[in-house]
Amino acid sequence: MRIAVVGATGMVGQIILKVLAERSFPVTELIPVASSRSVGKTVTFGARDWTIKSLEDAVAAAPDLALFSAGGNTSLEWAPKFAAVGTRVVDNSSAWRMDPTKKLVVPEINADVLTAEDMIIANPNCSTIQLVVALNPLHQAFGAKRVLVSTYQSVTGTGKAAVDQLEGERVGDDVDMVYPYKIDRNCIPHCDIFLDNDYTKEEMKMTQETVKIIGDEGIKLAATAVRVPVQGGHSESVNVEFERPFEIADVKKLLSETDGVTLQDQPEFNTYPMPLMAEGKDDVFVGRLRRDFTTDNALNMWVVSDNLRKGAATNTVQIAEVLLKKGFVKN
């Protein structure tokens, strides 16, 4: 299969290439795409070097599939151009997520919504993905009606410049400021831009995307998104109020049987999810399961995942695998 990776030199693009190789996705020709300053350079994939192309050249090549991780403006302009030449697009940006004509997909939950007519498919926000993978089986069993989430988000979610800021601050270097404040030894309750309702765009992504993916407008969700000086992945403190009663044993059984979830919930042995252990892995890790005694039918849990993998690259490749399995792209 001929595949373009748009944003191939970025943090997520590099991991997309890694995940394609790890999962033995049938790539016969790679068309890496990056900014004009990278055109003509090479990236390594499948034991050989591939020359980086411009967006114009990549569209002209009409690949079977284009995996985008290059920002919203690039996606809005170029994804339709790829689609127009018959290339299916899986896009990592926020550009298409809430477009009612585009599918927003987490394969473990709603792969069935994809049809042959879907030429541009949206990959959800990283924080949303790990949340819904853990929440959906519980919602199906007990009916989630209210969800409160506080996130503890890795600097990798902002990109390489944010990682450079954190690492530079830790050794006392004079660094370019990506965040409005120092991130080392700090927590910044400010992910993405503030909106008119005083929530950030990141927080509202979680509210809106969760409903679209799970397909139930009855789920009410509010989030507080916080950037923390961590690199391994995002963590979330999640409180869920259900319509129906539950037993903790049943919650554990459901999660342990859910594709893409690893249950780590043995507090007596100090076993619980942490970004340090989740880094480089594809699963969503869930633990600290306990009843919320302040109200009826409510649960607290702690959810951790590598935001560059399941939160971005892995989910993108999994969508591509669904397209292949359904015959919407040809091997």
pLDDT of residue 164: 97
Instruction: Please check whether residue 106 is in contact with residue 127, taking contact to mean a CB–CB distance below 8 angstroms.
Output: no
> Residue 86 carries which DSSP code?
T
pLDDT band at 302 (very low <50, low <70, confident <90, very high): very high
Residue 311: pLDDT over 90:
yes
Domains 2-124+312-325 and 127-306 share a fold: no
pLDDT band at 182 (very low <50, low <70, confident <90, very high): very high
Average pLDDT for residues 218-225, to the nearest whole number? 98
Average pLDDT for residues 205-226, to the nearest whole number? 98
pLDDT of residue 331: 81
How does pLDDT run across 257-299, given as a tens digit for each residue? Answer: 999 999 999 999 999 999 999 999 999 999 999 999 999 999 9
- Residue positions annotated with a catalytic role: 126, 234
Instruction: Please check whether residue 62 is in contact with residue 85, taking contact to mean a CB–CB distance below 8 angstroms.
Output: yes
pLDDT band at 111 (very low <50, low <70, confident <90, very high): very high
The domain locations on the chain are 2-124+312-325, 127-306
Q: Selecting from 3.30.360.10, 3.30.43.10, 3.40.50.300, 3.40.50.1000, what CATH number does the domain 127-306 have? A: 3.30.360.10
Average pLDDT for residues 153-182, to the nearest whole number? 97
Q: Is the dihedral of CA 125, 224, 153, 240 positive or negative?
A: negative
Percent of the chain with pLDDT over 70: 100
At a CB cut-off of 8 Å and minimum separation 6, what does 5 contact?
A: 13, 16, 17, 20, 30, 31, 32, 33, 66, 67, 69
Name the CATH architecture for the domain at 2-124+312-325.
3-Layer(aba) Sandwich (3.40)
Instruction: Please check whether residue 139 is in contact with residue 155, taking contact to mean a CB–CB distance below 8 angstroms.
Output: no
CA–CA separation, 211 and 134 (whole Å): 14
Q: What HEC string does 191-223 produce?
A: CCCECCCCCEHHHHHHHHHHHHHHCCCCCEEEE
Q: Is the dihedral of CA 321, 325, 329, 331 positive or negative?
A: positive
